[in-house]
Amino acid sequence: MSVRNFKETTVYKKAFMLAMDIFNKSKTFPKEERYSLIDQMRRSSRSVCANLAEAYRKKQYPAHFVSKLSDCDSENSETGVWIDFAFHCDYIDQQTRIDFASRNEEIGRLLHHMISNPEKY
């Protein structure tokens, strides 16, 4: 049976928590990163959730639903790049990088499942 409310999906819950953890961690980044890394990282991680909301509003059109899920996946992939930058700029430690990257990859796997099986959602 398909899930009617996008907020009930595992992927939404996991993406929302990752976005919130990124938000909280990025508060410690240097101020000179405010308009580059911080904004980009926050925007892309939040966009996963926002695009999922849009996707669910387009469920009656399967191609549009999958297209919006693809947007979610793209934003999630972008978030992964910003996690790498944050680590290599020494703004997050190795453990935080591993945690964030692992969660980001799990979200990607969940999105790929949705894209491959839209009728289940």
Q: From residue 26, give the alpha-carbon distance in Å to each of 38, 42, 72.
A: 6, 8, 21
Does residue 1 form part of some domain?
no
CATH code: domain of residue 34: 1.20.1440.60
**Model pTM score:** 0.94
CA-CA distance, 41 to 80, in Å (whole number)?
9
Q: What is the number of domains present in the chain?
A: 1
Asked if residue 25 is part of any domain, the answer here is yes
Average confidence score pLDDT of the chain:
95
- Give the CA count within 13 Å in the CB-facing half-sphere of 19: 22
Contact (Cβ atoms closer than 8 angstroms) between residue 117 and residue 69: no
Structural domain span for residue 72: 6-120
Whether residue 16 is contained in a domain is answered as yes
48 is a domain residue: yes
For the cut 70, the answer to whether the pLDDT of residue 3 exceeds it is no
Average pLDDT over residues 84-112: 98
pLDDT score recorded for residue 97: 98
Indicate whether 114 pLDDT > 80: yes
Please give the average per-residue pLDDT across 11-34, as a whole number: 97
| DSSP one-letter code for 34 | I
